[in-house]
């Protein structure tokens, strides 16, 4: 019963957060459309406003994409069958997709170190989603910037992905709930970040479907965080 | 000297758009993105009005408003938020917000509302023609300090109670409708209900009427509104 009330509460928080996330770029867009329709600006200022509007449109598009992706991942039978996948290659590809945006923002440094040719049975797009959500999470929870490390190694026959940041970290209580659906650190009035509370939940669901595990560690608030995903590697003869 | 507006908003694009438009309208602006910094800025006394988001890092906009009002600070506060439920709106206004605008908003409408708030704030500050002291029925009310000496002792009034008295006193001997009170004292149309006004009048009668059930100064005019008479008049 208590669990039902809890999920109901988190669903309402999710709706509030989604509505807020959609309305924020919409508010900005509406304001700048109004502004451009009634005020004259020199060309450089006008270009700057249009660039701002373009970023808002991207943000809106990105959020809608993520909600649709979540819907797909969470609907049984919609994923591709698992196939032999070069996890090293897919990891580098996923990080490269994000690197431009992260480096453009100029706050974070990305350090990527992957062992070459690690193979596993996986859906490549979903593995990329795992990597992207973890890196996005690291960016989001280190608003003051810093180093984000992505390591991929073979450890005792298992592939281990570690994503760590130097950001806000979390308390043990928060860490215990961090992979729950719609869970977000802080409350809805004093949110520390953008987001709707789906990213890490999706990571856990995808990793579990690959018979893997995921864990989160932090030394405490302000001390950064570390996420470790482990999935079974294909054995060396299968790797050949 | 331009009026100074404190923008409390953690979304940089929205804050920049507000700044751009408000400065083009002749206001001076200052921006913070955090609830705790907002409290410190408001306490500094450098600002004339606050545009306050609700979902903020540090402290929520609701917490900021509650804290500031608890300190007796009456700076006009306009909530500017994506929280559009009736509950959130009522909460914001009950905590002492003066207006509540939901996102996305029309920037032109927002500017009209800000100007109306400044006009109202000016009226709040302006002493009535007869001075800021109002005396009737053995009570003496200080309309600037929101305090009163009554035959039953000293009383501290809320800002809204004081402004209702001020409005009635400005129209001494004439009927003031409930809508006039809402328009002049609150300035927006969805809150409070006219019942809230009636309740506040009942409260004022308890402070200032010898027999609140048979008021001789704060009269109800059936189906019209209220009338204040300085001299005692039986209904």
CA distance A154 to chain B (A): 40
d(CA B82, CA B105): 10
Answer yes or no: is B146 within a domain. Answer: yes
**What pLDDT does residue A90 have?**
95
pLDDT at A186 over 80: no
B192 has a pLDDT exceeding 70: no
d(CA B12, CA B55): 14
Q: What pLDDT is attached to residue A240? A: 42
Cβ within 8 Å, pair B14-A24: yes
Query: Chain A contacts of B9, Cβ < 8 Å?
Result: none
Name the minimum distance, in Å, from the CA of B8 to any CA of chain A. Answer: 13
Per-residue model confidence as pLDDT tens digits over B141-186: 998 888 999 988 999 998 889 999 999 999 999 999 988 898 888 8
* Owning domain of residue A67: 2-74
CATH number at residue B147: 1.10.10.10
Contacts of B24 in chain A (CB under 8 A): 39
Q: Are residues B17 and B44 in the same domain?
A: yes
Are both A22 and A139 inside the same structural domain? no
Q: Quick check: B112 contacting A, CB < 8 Å? A: no
Q: Which residues contact B183 (CB under 8 A, 6 or more apart)?
A: none
Measured between alpha carbons, how far is A15 from A2 in angstroms, rounded to an integer?
20
* pLDDT value of residue A213: 95
Q: Are A88 and A206 members of one domain?
A: yes
State mean pLDDT over B91-104: 90
Residue A188, pLDDT score: 58
Question: How large a percentage of chain B has pLDDT more than 90?
Answer: 62
Residue-wise pLDDT tens digits, A190-199? 555 666 667 8
Asked if B61's CB is within 8 angstroms of A189's CB, the reply is yes
pLDDT confidence tier of residue A120, bands split at 50, 70 and 90: very high
Count up the domains in chain B and report the number.
Answer: 2
Both tokens assigned to B145: 């300090």
pLDDT in tens, B29-47: 999 999 999 999 999 999 9
| pLDDT higher than threshold 90 for residue B196 | no
Same domain, residue pair A57 and A129: no
d(CA B32, CA B41): 8
Query: Burial level of A179, CB count in 10 A (0-12/13-18/19+)?
Result: buried
Q: Do A18 and A115 fall into the same domain?
A: no
- Pair A6, A46 in one domain: yes
Q: Do A188 and B11 touch (CB under 8 A)?
A: no
Is B109 in the same domain as B62? Answer: yes
Q: Per-residue pLDDT for A189 more than 80? A: no
Residues B71 and B177 in one domain: no
- Judge whether A82 and A54 are in contact, CB under 8 Å: no
Asked if residue A216 and residue A105 are part of one domain, the reply reads: yes
Residues A7-56 pLDDT 10s: 676 667 677 777 878 888 999 999 999 999 999 999 999 999 999 999 88
Same domain, A42 and A68: yes
DSSP letter at A221 equals T
Asked if A189's CB is within 8 angstroms of B60's CB, the reply is yes
**In whole angstroms, what is the distance from residue A129 CA to residue A102 CA?**
16
Residue A214 has a pLDDT of: 94
CB-based contact, B87 to chain A, within 8 Å: no
Residue that is last in its domain, among A57, A74, A91: A74
Whether A69 has a pLDDT exceeding 90, the answer reads no
A34, B20: Cβ pair inside 8 Å? no
Asked whether residue B60 carries a pLDDT value surpassing 80, the answer given is yes
pLDDT band at A144 (very low <50, low <70, confident <90, very high): confident
Query: Contact, A20 vs B82, CB < 8 A?
Result: yes
User: Pick the residue with more confidence: A206 or A180?
Assistant: A206
- What CATH number should be reported for the domain holding residue A173? 3.30.565.10
What CA–CA distance (Å, rounded) separates A95 from A101?
A: 10
Query: For chain A, what is the mean pLDDT?
Result: 84
Residue ending a domain, among B68, B100, B125, is B125
CATH number of the domain where residue B101 is located: 3.40.50.2300
- Report d(CA B95, CA B66) in Å as an integer: 5
Residue A119 has pLDDT above 70, yes or no: yes
Give contacts of A19 with chain B, Cβ < 8 Å.
82
> Are B90 and B160 part of one and the same domain?
no
Q: Which residues of A touch B (CB under 8 A)?
A: 16, 19-20, 23-32, 34-35, 38-39, 52, 55-56, 188-192
- Contact between B168 and B226 under an 8 Å Cβ cutoff? The reply is yes
Query: Do residues A48 and A159 share a domain?
Result: no
Which of 199-218 (B) contact A at CB < 8 A?
A: none
Residues A55 and A102 in one domain: no
Q: How far is A233 from chain B (nearest CA, A)?
A: 42
Output the pLDDT for position A7. Answer: 65
Last residue of a domain, one of B125, B141, B171: B125
- Residue of chain B whose Cα is closest to the Cα of A185: B57
pLDDT in tens, B100-146: 999 999 999 999 999 999 998 888 887 666 677 889 999 999 988 88
Whether residue A5 is preceded by a cis peptide bond, meaning omega within 30 degrees of 0, is no
Query: Do residue A203 and residue A134 come from a single domain?
Result: yes
Asked whether residue A106 carries a pLDDT value surpassing 80, the answer given is no
Residue A61: CATH number of its domain: 1.10.287.130
Query: How close is the nearest chain B Cα to the Cα of A204, in Å?
Result: 27
Range of the domain at B184: 133-228
Q: How many domains does chain A have?
A: 2
Determine how many CB atoms are found less than 10 A away from the CB of residue A5.
9
Domain boundary among B93, B125, B157: B125
Beta-bridged to residue A85, according to DSSP, are A120
Buried b (16+ CB within 10 A) or exposed e, A48-84: ebeebbeebeebbeebeebeebbeebeeeeeeeebee
Mutate to test the interface with A, among B101, B104, B112 (most CBs of A within 10 A): B104
| Position A99 pLDDT exceeds 50 | yes
Residue B121 and residue B137 in one domain: no
Residue B96, in any domain of the structure: yes
Query: Using CB atoms, which residue from B21, B60, B83 is nearest to A35?
Result: B21
């Amino acid at each position: 019963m208590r669990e039902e009330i809890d999920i109901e509460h988190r669903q309402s928080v999710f709706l509030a957060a989604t509505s807020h996330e959609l309305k924020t770029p919409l508010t900005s867009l509406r304001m700048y459309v109004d502004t451009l329709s009634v005020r004259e600006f020199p060309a450089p200022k006008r270009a700057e406003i249009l660039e701002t509007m373009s970023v808002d449109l991207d943000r809106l598009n990105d959020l809608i994409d993520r909600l649709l992706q979540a819907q797909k991942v969470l609907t049984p039978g919609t994923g591709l069958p698992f196939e032999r996948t070069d996890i090293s290659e897919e990891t580098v590809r996923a990080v490269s997709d994000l690197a431009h945006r992260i480096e453009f923002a100029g706050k974070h440094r990305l350090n990527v170190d992957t062992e070459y040719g690690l193979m596993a049975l996986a859906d490549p797009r979903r593995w990329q989603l795992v990597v992207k959500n973890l890196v996005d999470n690291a960016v989001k929870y280190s608003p003051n910037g810093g180093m984000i490390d992505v390591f991929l190694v073979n450890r005792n026959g298992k592939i281990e992905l570690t994503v760590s940041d130097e950001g806000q970290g979390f308390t043990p209580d928060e860490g215990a709930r961090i992979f729950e659906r719609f869970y977000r650190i802080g409350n809805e009035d004093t949110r520390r970040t953008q987001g709707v509370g789906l990213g890490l939940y999706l990571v856990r669901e995808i990793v579990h479907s690959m018979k893997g595990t995921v864990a989160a560690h932090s030394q405490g608030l302000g001390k950064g965080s570390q996420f470790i995903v482990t999935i079974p590697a294909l054995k060396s003869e299968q790797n050949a | 000297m331009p009026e100074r507006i404190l923008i409390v908003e953690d979304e940089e694009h929205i804050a920049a758009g507000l700044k751009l438009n408000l400065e083009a309208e002749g206001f001076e602006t200052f921006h913070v993105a955090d609830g705790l910094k907002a409290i410190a800025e408001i306490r500094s006394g450098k600002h004339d009005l606050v545009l306050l988001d609700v979902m903020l890092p540090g402290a929520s906009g609701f917490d900021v408003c509650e804290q500031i009002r608890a300190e007796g600070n009456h700076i006009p506060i306009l909530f500017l938020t994506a929280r559009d439920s009736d509950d959130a709106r009522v909460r914001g206004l009950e905590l002492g917000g003066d207006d509540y605008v939901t996102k996305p908003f029309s920037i032109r409408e927002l500017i009209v509302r800000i100007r109306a708030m400044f006009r109202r704030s000016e009226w709040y500050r302006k002493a009535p023609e007869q001075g800021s002291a109002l005396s009737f029925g053995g009570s003496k009310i200080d309309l600037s300090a929101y305090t009163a000496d009554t035959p039953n002792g000293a009383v501290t009034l809320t800002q809204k109670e004081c402004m209702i008295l001020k409005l009635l006193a400005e129209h001494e001997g004439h009927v003031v409708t409930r809508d006039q009170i809402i328009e002049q004292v609150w300035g927006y149309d969805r809150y409070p209900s006219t019942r809230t006004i009636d309740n506040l009048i009942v409260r004022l009668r308890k402070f200032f009427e010898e027999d609140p059930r048979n008021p001789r100064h704060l009269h109800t005019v059936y189906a019209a509104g209220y009338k204040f008479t300085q001299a005692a008049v039986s209904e």
